Chain A
Amino acid sequence: MSTNKRITLQQAAEIVKNGSSLTFSGFTIWRRPFAIVYELIRQKRRGLHLIEVNGGPQSEFLVGAGCVDIWESCWVGHELYGKYGANMSRKVINKEVIVEDYSHAEMIFRFAAAAQGAPYAVTQTSLGTDLHNPEYDMLGRAGRRDGKRIAKQKYIFTEDPFFDAGPQVLIPAVKIDVAILCVQQVGEEGTVRVAGQLNSDPEAVRAADITIVMAEEIVPEEYLRRNADQNTVPSFEVDYILECPFGAHPTGVFGCYDVDGAFLKDFYGRTRTQEGFDDFAKEWIYGLDHISYLEKLGWSRMLNLRANTALNYRPRN
């Protein structure tokens, strides 16, 4: 690979192929790589397999646009701006998307297993729930358990063979083709510095075959190496970088801007139906690029989201 890791938004989306398995940085409505998500929708990517520690607006946009075949995760919604994922709900009911449910802890432990090169993790969470009901193995029911991308079994129930601690559940490592991150800073060589909560970013990067990092700013590598203890991901785990200010909008970025709650509320309210989604996408995605999207949002809206850099959020009063 060339030492220059810089790519454009269009090139970033092209790295994700039809049928790729994909994951993202952030948590629910924070630090989601929206500029690339929008570009995937414009490029009409199809057959995606989203594997997310938790979902959020990014899952809802991709599912609504018909990009997703399989969603493997534990939660989707817009926090207080929309109480569930209306697009996911519609497509699950219509059997247009296969949903494989795991619990939140199971998802992060599956990512951690993949990040350490282990085939599975062991946990005691969610014992006794329908998550573990063999009838509800949706990828198994669909005949998709090939033992390659998708594990041969959803769960294995066993007993602790070492200390007699009783029932244990084995959960398969995730297999991620591409991880797309949205962060505050990345260096020219790929060193990542996330400010605020890391969520599941370190595990997502290490689990993925390819990592794309979209940053609010690309900074001199030397600047990040002066305080390596503050960095999150080492350079060589990152394959591609791009700079894209406000790239997470409508989600928020610690220290940079808050969540655009009004935008998410509007999306949630208007996209209960496919016609509603298509109408929303025509207004906010198709025919726009990142700059014209920001122009459409306008200065006053964006300035009202801007975080105070001492507090890292925008104070309400």
Chain B
Amino acid sequence: MPNRRQFFIVAGAGFASAALARAVGAQQQQMPNMGAANVPMDEARYHPVRLPSRGGGTGPSMSDLQRDALEHRLHCQCGCTLDVFTCRTTDFSCQISPAMHKDVMALVAGGYSASEIINAFVGVYGERVLMEPEKRGFNLAGYLMPFVALGVGAALVVALLRRWHAPAAGEAPVASLPVEGTPDELKRLDSLVHRDDP
């Protein structure tokens, strides 16, 4: 008969595998061939992000450097794991990042701020267009979990160290016997006891 721990492990493994199998099935339907296979990318992944120009002749809403920083926050949709700025010059001959770059340029020229441009892209592509999840709601769990795990691990390590450091339960305390000797003898004894210390 499995005990409770074994039952939970097996049940957990079963649940995880079912979820993964579902994910594998779903992704294998959706994933385009790419990368090492070098099959052309799915250009249907590109969707225009356009907003009417604000006019007023105020010029671009940000400098080139700020625009580059903004593009670093947008995930190229060609199937790579890079941002729009970086993907434009990679070896993947991406057709999508240049198109997304043009959209960013048009929005910058149209007088839109960085947050407005980001929101426009999220509106069209969804949250997946961001290089990192927004820090709110369920996503906070994503950000916090590694630190929570580390904290739990640290607490466990400290607890273990304390347990190992403390005398074992049930172990009778050993009464310390008086050590008799001259100060010189005691000093030599002490140095012998600690001789391995560097």
Query: Do A and B originate from a single complex?
Result: no
